[in-house]
């Protein structure tokens, strides 16, 4: 059974840092497109960062230079390091598994079919 289990997140003041982890079971990270998404109350889910099987990375403009997506193939775990956090980064964050080795529309949630349970990130001003 394919599963994604997230950990990390929490609360921080603006300018601080947080990290998220997403451990996978039932498949091998290195063979698939993987992504991080977020959803704030009353807003649509939006793509934050994605990485394909060749480690080609896509970031949303809103997080470029602040967030870093990475993976540890040996641990089958995906990470999101978030620095210089802003109040507008407050949201529930989800990791997600795409359908293939490439990310054709990396930040489009419709491309992903397995989702983690979500981790809350709250940034205060």
Q: Contact 82/19 with Cβ under 8 angstroms?
A: yes
- For the chain, the distance separating the N- and C-terminal CA atoms, rounded to the nearest angstrom, is 41
pLDDT bucket at 110, cuts 50 / 70 / 90: very high
Per-residue pLDDT, 22: 96
Q: Lowest-confidence range among 20-34, 66-80, 83-97?
A: 20-34
DSSP state of 9: -
Per residue in 32-74, pLDDT tens?
999 999 999 999 999 999 999 999 999 999 999 999 999 998 8
Q: Lowest-confidence range among 11-15, 25-29, 112-116?
A: 25-29
Upper half-sphere CA count for residue 6 (Cβ side, 13 Å):
24
């Amino acid at each position: 059974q394919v599963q994604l289990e997230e950990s990390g997140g929490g609360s921080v003041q603006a300018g601080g840092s947080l990290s998220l982890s997403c451990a996978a079971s039932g498949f091998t990270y290195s063979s698939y497109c993987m992504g991080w998404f977020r959803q704030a109350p009353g807003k649509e889910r939006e793509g934050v960062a994605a990485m394909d099987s060749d480690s080609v990375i896509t970031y949303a403009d809103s997080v470029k230079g602040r967030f870093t997506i990475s993976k540890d193939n040996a641990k089958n775990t995906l990470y999101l390091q978030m620095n210089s956090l802003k109040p507008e980064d407050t949201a529930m964050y989800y990791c997600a598994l795409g359908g293939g080795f490439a990310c054709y529309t990396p930040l489009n949630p419709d491309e992903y079919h397995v989702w983690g349970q979500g981790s809350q990130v709250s940034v205060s001003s």
